[in-house]
Amino acid sequence: MCGLRASGFRFILSSLPSFPRRRHYRHPFATSNGKTECSVSTANNKQKKEKVIVISGPTGAGKSRLALELAKLLNGEIISADSVQVYCGLDVGSAKPSPSERKEVRHHLIDILHPSEDYSVGQYFEDARQATQDILNSGCVPIVAGGTGLYLRWFIYGKPDVPKASPEIASEAYNELEELQKNQDWDAAVQLVVKVGDPKAQLLPANDWYRLRRSLEIIKACGSPPSAFQVPYDSFKEQVNANLTDGSHNVNSSLDMLKQVKSEDLDYDFICFFLSSCRLDLYRSIDFRCEDMLSGRDGILSEAKWLLDAGLLPNSNSATRAIGYRQAMEYLLRCREQDGRTSAREFYSFLSEFQKASRYGTLDNWYM
C-alpha cells in the first residue's frame, strides 16, 4: 500500500518530488515548444503518470494544515476525503476549512449536499475522480486530504465492478422497503434483505437505509449480494498476505515487490503521506478538539439543533450517523424531553460519550 509515515513538515516537504511552483507553473510533461511530451520507459514503453498527493491520518493529526501549505507551495487544489464535510451546515463537527482558507486555496467536495441526502463511497469515488481530472486539466496539482479511510482506499485502488440497477429495479427495491422505513422498522427490513440473499445485511449499521436498499437492488439486478464483488483494495491485501505466508520471501522484499506491482496497476502516480502521533497524544488532542466544538453559541450543539429542527433524527442517515452529531442530537432530544432542562452530570456524560466515540472512531478507521 502506498504511503509514507511522516511527523513534521520538514521531512515531508524535503521528500516530495519536484513540482512546478505557482508563479512559473507549466505542465510537467510540456516541452519548451509548448507541445506535450510523454516520458517513455525503454523497459515498458508506458506513459508517465500524473502525480496525485494523498494525505491521510487520524482526527487531529494536522492533515488540513499540511494540505493547505502544500497547495500554496505547489499550485495545488484540495479534494476533501471527509464523509461529513460534503454536507452543508455541518461545519464545526467536521472541522471544515475556514472561508478565508477556501478563498486562498480552492477546495472540492465540500458543501455539496443537504444533510437529508445520503452519500456513498461509490458516489465519492466518482466525484473525487472527476475533481482530480478537472484539477489536472487546469494545470494544477490534486491534493486529496481527509480522514475517511474507506474513501481513500477506493479513491486509490478503485471500486468493485458492481452492476448498476435499472430504474425499474431501483424503483422496485425502493417500494419494497418504503413502508418499513416510514415505520422505522429496521429489523424487519434487514430480515427481508437477508431472506432474498444477503446475510451480511445484518452487519450494516442500524438505519443505514441507503446501503440496505442498494444491497436489495444488486441482488435483484444480478442475483448476487454486494459481498460477491471484491473491492480492489481487499484483493491487494489478500495478495500481500498470501505472499508473506508462503515463506519464499522475507517481509521487506515481499512488500517491496507487491507495492511495485500494484503501483504499476494504478492509473496515477500517488504520493501518499500518513500523519500520526503516539496514541496518548492523539487521544489528548481529540479530547480537547471535542471540547472546543462545544464552546460558543455556534458550536456543534447549534448544528445538531438545526438538524433536529429540519426533521432529522439521530442515526437515521449518513449525516446524522456522523460521530459528534449523533451524540449531540441524542443529548438535545433528552433535554427536550425534560422541557429544555439538563444537569452538569448529564452534560458531562454527553461530553464523555462524544470523546469516547471520537477516539474509537479513529481506532476503527486507521489502527484496526
End-to-end CA distance of the chain: 15
* Helix 232-245, helix 251-265: angle, nearest 10: 150
| 263-283 pLDDT, tens digit each | 667 889 999 999 988 888 889
Q: Give the Cα separation of 55 and 64 in Å (integer).
A: 9
**pLDDT band (50, 70, 90) for residue 237:** low
Average pLDDT, the chain: 83
Bridge partners, residue 269, by sequence: 51
Of 7, 95, 43, nearest to 299 by C-alpha is: 95
pLDDT band at residue 207 under the 50/70/90 scheme: confident
Residues in the chain: 368
Q: Which pLDDT belongs to residue 367?
A: 47
Q: Is the dihedral of CA 150, 154, 159, 165 positive or negative?
A: positive
**Among 118, 130, 128, 40, residue whose Cα is nearest residue 79:** 128
Predicted local distance difference test score (pLDDT) of residue 350: 96
The more confident residue out of 217 and 31 is 217
Q: What does the pLDDT read at residue 160?
A: 82
**According to DSSP H, which parts of 63-206 are helical?**
63-74, 99-104, 121-137, 149-157, 167-182, 186-196
User: Residue 256 has what pLDDT?
Assistant: 59
pLDDT for residue 263: 64
Say whether 108 sits in a helix, a strand or coil. Answer: strand
Q: DSSP label at 184?
A: T
Task: Supply the CATH classification number for the domain 279-367.
Answer: 1.10.287
pLDDT score at 239: 62
Q: What is the pLDDT of residue 61?
A: 85
DSSP bridge partners of 5: 274
Concatenated DSSP letters for 113-133? B-TTS---HHHHHHHHHHHHH
Residues of the chain above pLDDT 90, percent? 57
Whether the predicted pLDDT of 214 surpasses 50: yes
Residue 71 has pLDDT above 70, yes or no: yes
Sign of the torsion angle spanned by Cα atoms 236, 56, 127, 118? positive
What is the per-residue pLDDT for 229?
82
Q: What is the pLDDT at residue 368?
A: 45
- Rg of the Cα trace of the chain? 23
Short-list 127, 351, 157, 187, CA closest to 266: 157
Confidence of residue 202 (pLDDT cuts 50, 70, 90): very high
pLDDT (mean) for 290-308: 95
How is residue 23 annotated by DSSP? Answer: T
| CB-neighbour burial class of residue 150 (10 A; exposed 0-12, middle 13-18, buried 19+) | middle
pLDDT over threshold 70, residue 255: no
Q: 130 pLDDT band (50/70/90 cuts)?
A: very high
For the domain covering 5-160+236-275, report its CATH number. 3.40.50.300
Q: What is the pLDDT of residues 92-126, one digit of tens each?
A: 999 999 999 999 999 999 999 999 999 999 999 99
Residues of the chain with CATH 3.40.50.300: 5-160+236-275
List, for residues 3-61, the tens digit of each pLDDT value.
433 333 333 444 444 444 433 333 333 333 443 333 333 344 457 899 999 999 988 88
Where, residue-wise, is CATH 1.10.287 in the chain? 279-367
Q: How much is the pLDDT for 184? A: 86
Element (H, E) at 54: strand 51-56
Give me 243's grid cell.
505472499
How would you classify residue 157: left for phi > 0, otherwise alpha for psi between -120 and 50, otherwise beta? alpha
Is residue 212 within 8 A of residue 201, CB to CB? The reply is yes
**How far apart are alpha carbons 302 and 352 in whole angstroms?**
19
Residue 48: CA atoms inside 13 Å, Cβ hemisphere, count? 12
Percentage of residues of the chain with pLDDT beyond 70: 77
Residue 355 pLDDT > 60: yes
Report field, pTM of the whole predicted structure over 0.85: no
Is the pLDDT at 258 greater than 60, yes or no?
Answer: no
| 157 DSSP 8-state letter | H
- Compute the distance between CA of residue 202 and CA of residue 212 in angstroms, rounded to an integer: 9
Q: Are strands 141-145 and 76-80 parallel, antiparallel or unpaired?
A: parallel
Closest by Cα among 66, 96, 58 to 80: 96
Higher pLDDT, 1 or 321: 321
